[in-house]
Amino acid sequence: MAKVLLKKNNHIRIIISGGGTGGHVYPAIAIADALKSIDESIEILFVGAEGKMEMEKVPQAGYRIIGLWVSGLQRKLTVKNLMFPFKLLHSLWKARRIVKEFKPQAVVGVGGYASGPVLKAANAKQIPTVLQEQNGYAGLTNKLLAQKAQRVCVAYPNMEKYFPENKIRFTGNPVRNDIMQLEGLREKAFEYFRLDPQKKTLLVFGGSLGAKTINDSLLQAIEVLLKKGYQIVWQTGKFYYNQLQVALEGKKGNGLWLGAFIDRMDYAYAVADLVVCRAGALSISELCLAAKATVLIPSPNVAEDHQTKNAMALVNEKAAIMVKDSEAREQFTEVVLDLLHDDEKREDLSKNICKLGKPNAAKDIAEEVLNLVKQKV
């Protein structure tokens, strides 16, 4: 795509707003990187929520960020809710000031507490806005913001029930570049985890904090899995690592890699014959691009049960197996053993999930943003 130029010596300015979780922050950074790859002169400003992970991750990625004093309403009655109106008014005022001073030609909202005030401020000044919805279920904020947004970039089909059809662009979710470059990594990856490349390998993870249901389920199954000659890469999450390290003493190194975190997820996907994980939007997008046979155990502790809706979007395409959180401890061993044994079933899942991958998601979203800027000039 040709560079979009406003005027000579007048750079394009874009605000990217939102965050709170990795599922919001990493796609936001990927979009920023894609914008800069199209036109290095583009000025990008992030606006996030004070105290949230974007305030650390965005500067690490080389971008400037401003924090808003903003948070969501708690579902239970709590003193924190008494502060909500004050935080909202303060964040709306600050967002208007940021938009006025930075003078962006477009604003991108990726979800999270900060995106609402910033996109509202942009709407008030007739600045084009783009929403990026990561999940198969749209939250209330994005549904409201979509009424005045020019584009809504989605990761799942059939999102017309939430957004105006003429505004939707099926771009997929942006993911890290290393996930798209797994070819040739397998040998190094097995060396990294000190595992045998001749044996089938199960990858299990539950996010940075960990997932108790998944950990409990694998702990029950681990004896039989190892006894049958399968290998396991197990990311426990920081809350559960110490207790599991004690419980599994003597098993590490004997077909089992155990860690609180996995620094090289590209290596983890490269060795995996089967993956078990939650159904967060970012994980699913990575699995589509990595083309991995997957068992999804959606977290029940998320807004509007959106992980179940994410998982069902894949199940309906015969691209993944879903096990309910409440049934995981009972079904885990049987489901995993069945899939590890059935090469044809895993191959079918792999082919079907690969069809849902969108490797150019970040670039496609960036071009949607710049096309709006061009139309506004």
Number of folded domains in the chain?
Answer: 2
pLDDT in tens, 79-108: 565 566 666 788 889 999 999 999 999 999
> Do 337 and 365 lie in a common domain?
no
Answer whether residue 150 shows pLDDT above 70: yes
Nearest to 307 by CA among 283, 334, 275, 272: 283
Examine the domain organization and report whether 87 and 151 are in the same domain. yes
Tens-place pLDDT, residues 246-297: 999 877 778 999 999 999 999 999 999 999 999 999 899 999 999 999 999 9
In this prediction the pTM is 0.84
Residues 254 and 147 in one domain: no
Q: What is the structure's pLDDT at 85? A: 66
Assess whether 273 and 151 both reside in one domain: no
- 152 and 251 in a single domain? The answer is no
Q: Sign of dihedral through CA atoms 255, 257, 263, 268? A: positive
Whether residue 255 sits in one domain with residue 241: yes
Known binding residues: 21-23, 135, 176, 208, 262, 307
| CATH code for the domain of 86 | 3.40.50.2000
> Within a domain: residue 6?
no
**pLDDT value at residue 4:** 39
pLDDT tens digits for range 223-238: 999 999 999 999 999 8
Cβ of 199: how many Cβ atoms within 10 Å?
13
Annotated binding site for UDP-N-acetyl-alpha-D-glucosamine: 21-23, 135, 176, 208, 262, 307
**Considering the domain boundaries, does residue 29 fall inside one?**
yes
Q: Say if strands 106-109 and 129-133 run parallel, antiparallel, or are unpaired.
A: parallel
Q: Do 201 and 95 belong to one domain?
A: no
Say whether both 44 and 95 belong to one domain.
Answer: yes
Q: For 208-221, what is each residue's pLDDT tens digit?
A: 778 999 999 999 99
Residue 134 shares a structural domain with residue 40: yes
Domain span at 276: 178-354
Residues 150 and 336: beta-carbon distance below 8 Å: no
Residues 143 and 167: beta-carbon distance below 8 Å: no
Same domain? 257 vs 333 = yes
Q: Where are the beta strands (DSSP E) in 237-305?
A: 256-259, 274-277, 294-296
253 and 341 share one domain: yes
pLDDT tier, 3 (very low <50, low <70, confident <90, very high otherwise)? very low
Does residue 28 surpass a pLDDT of 50?
yes
DSSP states of 24-81 as a string? HHHHHHHHHHHHHHH-TT-EEEEEEETTSTHHHHHHHTT-EEEEE---PPPSS--GGG
